[in-house]
Amino acid sequence: MLQVRLQTGCFSKEWLDRYIRLGCARGIEQFGVVDHLYRFKECREYYEGHMLLDDSPLGRLQRAWLDQVCTYSIHDYLEGMYKAALTVPGLAVGLEVDYFPGGEKQLGALLDRWPLDFVIGSVHFHQGWGFDNPDVQQRFQDYDLSELYKNHFAVVKGAIASGLFDIIAHRDNLKVFGYRPDEAELLGSYREVAAALKAHDAATEINTGLLYRYPVKEMCPSPSFLQILFEHGVPITLSSDAHFPDDIGMHLNTAMQAAQRAGYKKVVYYKGRVRHTIPLC
Ligand SMILES: [Zn+2]
C-alpha cells in the first residue's frame, strides 16, 4: 500500500481510486476529499505567522513537524484531484484549513487563489500550541481546563464569524486526549457555538476520527453537543477522517445512527461552494 503511494504519489489517481473503491464497497455514494492546508509550501508563511516555532522545546518540536509535513505544492494536489474528479462523478475537492485568530485576512487572500468545492475550518492550536500532538499532550496538565475550553470555543466562534468556511470541523476536538471538564459546564458554550453556526449559515460535521484514532475514543461532537446542534438547526456532514484508504467510512454507520437519534433526517455536501442536501437513510 505504502509502495503504491510512494511510487505514484499521494495525489495520484491510483491512490485516490483506492479510497473510492473501498468507499463504494462500504456504501458511500457522495465523496469529498480534503487535505490539510499545512501540507502546502504556498501556505507555510501563514503557519509560521501563527504557530509557536521559537527555540523552546515546544517550538523546536513544532518546527521539525512543519518541516516534515509542509512539503507539497497545492497545485499538484488540486490538479491531481480535479483530474480524478473527471472519472468520479460528484467528487468534491476541498481543503481543511487551520483558523488562527487575527489571520483572517491572510487566509482569505490565500483561499481566493484556488478553485475549491468546499472549505473546512478547524482549530487545532491553542495560542500556537498544536494540542492534538501526542508528543506534547502533557501540556494539558498546565492548564485550568475550564479556561482552556472557554478559550477554545471563543476561537471556534471566531472561525465561524470569519465567514471563510463552509463547514466547521470537529468543534470539540480539544478532548482528544481525554482532558475535559464536566460536560455540564460546557453546555452553554455548545449552545453559543451552535447559535453562531446557524447565524452564519455554516454547516458542521460528525467526525469519527477521534473515535478510532485517539485516546478519547469518542466522536466529535459528543452526543450532547450533537443534540444541541440539531436543536439549533445546524446542517451536518459525515466524515470518517480517512488518512488512509482502509480508514474510509470507518464508523460512519455509528455516526449516521447518532445523527438519526439526535433527529437529523438529512446530511449536506458542497460542490462549487454551494450546499446540497441528501436524505439520511
Ligand atoms: Zn482536523
**Domains in the chain and their CATH numbers?**
2-279 (3.20.20.140)
Question: pLDDT tens digits, the chain, 281 residues: what are they?
Answer: 444 454 556 777 788 888 888 888 888 888 889 999 999 999 999 999 999 999 999 999 999 999 999 999 999 999 999 988 888 888 899 999 999 999 999 999 999 999 999 999 999 999 999 999 999 999 999 999 999 999 999 999 999 999 999 999 999 999 999 999 999 999 999 999 999 999 999 999 999 988 888 899 999 999 999 999 999 999 999 988 888 888 888 888 899 999 999 999 999 999 999 999 999 87
pLDDT confidence of residue 8: 55
Output the CA 123–ligand 1 centroid distance in Å. Answer: 7
Output the CA 97–ligand 1 centroid distance in Å. Answer: 8
pLDDT confidence of residue 6: 47
Output the CA 72–ligand 1 centroid distance in Å. Answer: 18
* Ion ligand 1 contact residues with beta carbon within 5 A: 122
Q: Is the pTM of this model over 0.75?
A: yes
pLDDT confidence of residue 1: 42
Output the CA 210–ligand 1 centroid distance in Å. Answer: 10
pLDDT confidence of residue 281: 74
Output the CA 69–ligand 1 centroid distance in Å. Answer: 14
3-state secondary structure labels for all residues of the chain: CHHHHHHHCCCCHHHHHHHHHHHHHCCCCCCEEEEEHHHEHHHHHHHHHHCCCCCCHHHHHHHHHHHHHCCECHHHHHHHHHHHHCCCCCCEEEEEEECCCCCHHHHHHHHCCCCCCEEEEECCEECCEECCCHHHHHHHHHCCHHHHHHHHHHHHHHHHHCCCCCEECCCCHHHCCCCCCCHHHHHHHHHHHHHHHHHCCCEEEEECHHHHHCCCCCCECCHHHHHHHHHCCCCEEEECCCCCHHHCCCCHHHHHHHHHHHCCCEEEEEECCEEEEEECC
pLDDT confidence of residue 274: 97
